[in-house]
Amino acid sequence: MTIDQERRLRPEIQGLRGLAVALVVIYHLWPDVLPGGYVGVDVFFVISGYLITGLLAREALRDSRISLIEFYSRRIRRLLPAATLVLLVTLCATLLFISKARWEETANQVLASALYVENWRLAAIAVSYLDADSLPSPVQHYWSLSIEEQFYVVWPLIMIGVIWLSRRRDLPLRACLIGALSLIFAGSLVASVVLTATNPAQAYFVSHTRLWELALGGLLVLIEHRFRLGAFARQWLAIAGIVGILASALLISATTPFPGASALLPTLATVLVILAGEVQVGRFRGLDWFRGLASGPLRFIGDRSYSIYLWHWPLITIFLAQGYSLTLASGIGLVAVTLVLSDLSYRYVEQRYREARTGAWWKPLGYGTTAVLICVAASGSLLLFLKTERIDTALIGTSSYPGPAALVSGAAVPDGVDLLPPLARLRRDVPVVYATKCHQEEESSKPVGCRFGDPAGARTMVVVGDSHAAQWIPAIDKIARDHAFKLVTFTKSACPFTRVTIGGSKPYVSCAEWREKVLAEILKLKPDLIFTSQSNYGSVRQDVMIEGLRSVWSELAEAGSQIVAIRNTPYMKFDPGDCLSATPTKCFTKLSDVERSDVLALAAEGQKNVRAIDMVDAICGPQLCPAVVGNIIVWRDNHHLTASYSLALAPYLAAKAGL
């Protein structure tokens, strides 16, 4: 079929959809089996670009116009009912089955998904160190739908502009459309390659690195009439395309830079399959041994691929949130439930509204707007409710919330007391430097110094280092206020305060630049006391790290500053939010099982004006590191202290620092 022919059902495209969604589902259930199964999304992008451009181009070539109302009405009837249903059901299921610690982010992502900007939400999280460890939300798979919807909004408008230009300049419309799509394809592909090399986490989600895949499908539908292929050639194109898609799913993995140039393999393979059309390959004793993508099972899955894609991921994340693991049996069970829900959704939601004849043109648009507003209202209401949950730090140290006193001095811990912070605010119980933008993300090398403590203090105190130094700011701020110190903070994500190259084959350049600028600022301040700490950096040899630390410390010590290096805190083997919600009695890690770098203590040995201290006795018991101590939650994730527990540690940190 070409663009000039009437639209008809393409069974091989339905089969291709079935293959694509199968790859995605298998990848999410058993990533070791298909490490690159996520390329199924790229297959969908090419198919969507092909079908949507074909639909619009047929109308444009026939009528020299495009009806935006008709197009958007059709898209709304096709996509919004099922998408809205899954969002609302998932939000309800989150309240019933998922830890309160994940409610806020899930509500944010339901809101972003309803507005079809989920990909940008995930891109923001990907480059935010504070959110980088966030667990997958049950709606994050809407990122790909968001990109497609953004394409559906922008591309018809571009085509209308191209139609106007072709009329005004008396140019062939098809050639103008090919030219416009070629520019989009080339520009987006270049952006994809460049950003994948420089910022792969963001490149995976943002729209401009993915549009070329949809544009590729659009170009195919505009030029496929030029290909006159015989049955034999079409058979081999189909085989090559399917092999290319399967090879992508097997050979591409989490270590592959993606999308970038690597995405050309699955997308070009998809082009070959579509170009081949409906074919059957080979015969064995009178039977077709390969019916191609038009086979019944693949078409059945393909018809329901949209619903399968929508339902499978919430089911997986909710299942995992209960503390279960994915096995062969549980995976098969999840597939079965997905197929049942998808079939019901396809028959009673997708088909019902897709074939509906609403009469007035405004009804689909009105219904669609209402559906979006319902999702916005539901998620927004939850977010407003969560804002009412407060973290009352005034309770810290009272008889109800003894915190570390339970470990250090055996203080009694009453039962039946709500935990502090509330689970709903756990992920946001962070030092104030995050909200005030004082903690630098990985991109910036600007030495932002923020002032806390006692503004009238006669002496100055500094905190410097990565996020494992920043976690101590609530405690150190209290110490500064109690002992009449001004406090200045310099912290940056994943950037230890040491003259060491971080990042291996891709050096963390902004970290090195930031360190030297901060060192100069601290020397100007001439602080009396400097607190520092850092995470483990296993990629750096211990002797190299020690030398790097001493190089920086020696300059500060010679200037008269006292340096206190706080030994790194343990890494837990559980997520505190999920664990405290599902199995609170099992939320601990054996102290003997945690690895803590002692590089700070080794670097401090024999150094002038430098001392190393260890706070583990106020965080862990003799054998166990629990998630909760003295009714205060210790960890906001598996390796950062909550701001509440950090604040509770202030008197113990002050004592060990000699204050």
Tokens of 138: 């049950």
pLDDT tier for residue 129 given thresholds of 50, 70 and 90: very low
DSSP three-state, residue 287: strand
The predicted structure's pLDDT at residue 132: 46
- Distance of alpha carbon 408 from alpha carbon 397, whole angstroms: 13
- Compute the average pLDDT of residues 323-342: 94
371 plus 425 within the same structural domain? no
| Residue 200 belongs to a domain | yes
103 plus 152 within the same structural domain? yes
Tokens of 622: 């003799």
| Residue 596 belongs to a domain | yes
- Distance of alpha carbon 657 from alpha carbon 659, whole angstroms: 6
Tokens of 525: 């301040």
The predicted structure's pLDDT at residue 1: 46
pLDDT tier for residue 598 given thresholds of 50, 70 and 90: confident
- Compute the average pLDDT of residues 442-458: 91
CATH number where 528 lies: 3.40.50.1110
Pairing of strands 632-633, 628-629: antiparallel
Residue ending a domain, choose from 350, 383, 416? 383
Least confident of 255-269, 479-493, 495-509, 556-570: 495-509
What would the pLDDT profile of 139-165 be if each residue is shown by its tens digit? 999 999 999 999 999 999 999 999 999
**Which residues, other chains included, contact 484 with Cβ-Cβ below 8 Å and sequence gap of 6+?**
454, 456, 457, 458, 459
The predicted structure's pLDDT at residue 289: 41
From the CB of residue 495, how many other CB atoms can be counted at a distance below 10 Å?
29
Tokens of 628: 């909760």
What would the pLDDT profile of 603-646 be if each residue is shown by its tens digit? 999 999 999 999 999 999 999 999 999 999 999 998 999 999 99
Would you list the DSSP string of 380-404? Answer: HHHHHHHHT----GGGTTSTT--TT
DSSP state of 610: E
Cβ-contact 379, 110 below 8 angstroms: yes
The predicted structure's pLDDT at residue 6: 43
- Distance of alpha carbon 647 from alpha carbon 297, whole angstroms: 59
pLDDT tier for residue 134 given thresholds of 50, 70 and 90: low
Tokens of 524: 């100007």
471 phi and psi angles, rounded to 5 deg: -65, -20
- Distance of alpha carbon 312 from alpha carbon 341, whole angstroms: 9
Cβ-contact 118, 143 below 8 angstroms: yes
- Dihedral sign from CA coordinates of 391, 392, 393, 396: negative
DSSP H stretches of helix in 505-564: 509-525, 542-558
For residue 66, pLDDT over 60 is answered with yes
353 plus 409 within the same structural domain? no
| Residue 1 belongs to a domain | no
DSSP three-state, residue 277: coil
Give the 3-state DSSP-derived string for 87-127, with helices as H, strands as E and coil as C. HHHHHHHHHHHCCHHHHHHHHHHHHHHHCCCHHHHHHHHHC
Q: For tokens 């629990």, what's the residue? A: 626
From the CB of residue 387, how many other CB atoms can be counted at a distance below 10 Å?
11
Closest CA to 439 of 643, 205, 639: 643
DSSP three-state, residue 609: coil
509 plus 617 within the same structural domain? yes
- Write b or e for each residue in 219-233: b if 16 or more Cβ atoms lie within 10 A of its Cβ, otherwise e: bbbbebeeeeeeeee
Q: For tokens 């690895």, what's the residue? A: 595
| Residue 6 belongs to a domain | no
Half-sphere exposure of 282 (CA within 13 A, CB side): 8
For residue 515, pLDDT over 60 is answered with yes
| Residue 467 belongs to a domain | yes
- Whole-number mean pLDDT of the chain? 90
140 plus 267 within the same structural domain? yes
441 plus 356 within the same structural domain? no
Domain range spanning residue 99?
11-280+287-383
The percentage of residues in the chain with a pLDDT greater than 70, rounded to a whole number, is 93
More confident residue, 579 or 286: 579
- Dihedral sign from CA coordinates of 47, 53, 57, 60: positive
Burial class (CB in 10 A: 0-12, 13-18, 19+), 392: exposed
Least confident of 150-164, 463-477, 498-512, 555-569: 498-512
Which CA distances in Å does 497 have to 17, 365, 490, 491, 517? 50, 55, 10, 9, 11
- Compute the average pLDDT of residues 563-569: 94
Residue ending a domain, choose from 353, 383, 413? 383
The C-alpha angle 358, 359, 365, rounded to 5 degrees, equals 60
Least confident of 299-313, 593-607, 614-628: 593-607
Burial class (CB in 10 A: 0-12, 13-18, 19+), 415: exposed
415 plus 356 within the same structural domain? no
Can the peptide bond before residue 447 be classed as cis, meaning omega within 30 degrees of 0? no
491 phi and psi angles, rounded to 5 deg: -135, 150
Least confident of 33-42, 74-83, 214-223: 74-83
**Which residues, other chains included, contact 448 with Cβ-Cβ below 8 Å and sequence gap of 6+?**
437, 438, 440, 490
256 plus 343 within the same structural domain? yes
- Distance of alpha carbon 124 from alpha carbon 228, whole angstroms: 46
Q: For tokens 């909760």, what's the residue? A: 628
The predicted structure's pLDDT at residue 225: 82
| Residue 4 belongs to a domain | no
In the chain, the number of structural domains is 2
491 plus 402 within the same structural domain? yes
443 plus 560 within the same structural domain? yes
- Compute the average pLDDT of residues 395-411: 94
DSSP three-state, residue 462: strand
- Compute the average pLDDT of residues 305-310: 96
Residue ending a domain, choose from 364, 383, 402? 383
| Residue 388 belongs to a domain | no
470 plus 330 within the same structural domain? no
**Which residues, other chains included, contact 139 with Cβ-Cβ below 8 Å and sequence gap of 6+?**
86, 87, 90, 106, 109, 110, 113, 118, 313, 314
CA 215 to chain centre: 25
477 plus 577 within the same structural domain? yes
